[in-house]
């Protein structure tokens, strides 16, 4: 999982982090950011699809890191990532459906990020961005 996260961040021109758990957190953060950018570009298919493609790759990195030997919760998470990827891959020219699919994906990923921050990183709130 650590290597998958590092690879994703090198492609996104972000330096690697020391803690693999923080990498997972950043993958969530970046996927949500790309989806928000895609929402802003609904009327520009090329730009929208560029951001969707990035988000899909980030979710695929998260999915690749799931340890399926951990049992049913891990299997559910793996399937949820797969469903998000499939839904985002089917976004087309219908702006209303595209918005709904992207917003739903943002909600799922943002909630998973909060759970990760709380249960793995021991945070009550997600990390705030510094300017």
Report CA torsion sign: 22, 28, 31, 36. Answer: negative
Residue 129 tokens read as 């961005």
Of the ranges 23-32, 94-103, 110-119, 121-130, which one carries the lowest mean pLDDT score?
Answer: 121-130
For the chain, give every domain's residue range.
2-119
Rounded Cα distance, 84 and 99, in Å: 14
pTM of the predicted protein model: 0.79
Q: Where are the alpha helices (DSSP H) in the chain?
A: 2-11, 20-40, 45-64, 72-89, 95-119
What length does the chain have? 131
What does the radius of gyration of the chain's CA atoms come to, in whole angstroms? 15
Looking at the chain, the whole-number percentage of residues with pLDDT higher than 70 is 80
Query: By C-alpha distance, which of 36, 53, 43 is closest to 96?
Result: 43
DSSP conformational letter for 120: T
Topology (CATH level 3) of domain 2-119: 1.20.120
What is residue 121's predicted lDDT score, i.e. its pLDDT? 79
Residue 76: CB partners within 8 Å, gap ≥ 6? Answer: none
């Amino acid at each position: 999982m650590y290597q998958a996260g590092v690879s994703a961040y090198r492609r996104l021109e972000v330096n690697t982090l020391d803690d693999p758990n923080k990498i997972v957190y950043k993958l969530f953060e970046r996927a949500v950011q790309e989806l928000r950018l895609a929402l802003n570009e609904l009327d520009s298919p090329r730009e929208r699809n560029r951001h969707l493609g990035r988000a899909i790759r980030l979710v695929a990195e998260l999915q690749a890191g799931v340890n399926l030997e951990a049992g049913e919760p891990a299997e559910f998470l793996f399937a949820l990532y797969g469903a998000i990827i499939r839904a985002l891959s089917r976004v087309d020219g219908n702006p209303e459906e595209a918005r709904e699919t992207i917003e739903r994906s943002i909600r799922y990923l943002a909630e998973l990020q909060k759970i990760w921050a709380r249960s793995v990183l021991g945070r009550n709130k997600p990390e705030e961005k510094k300017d």
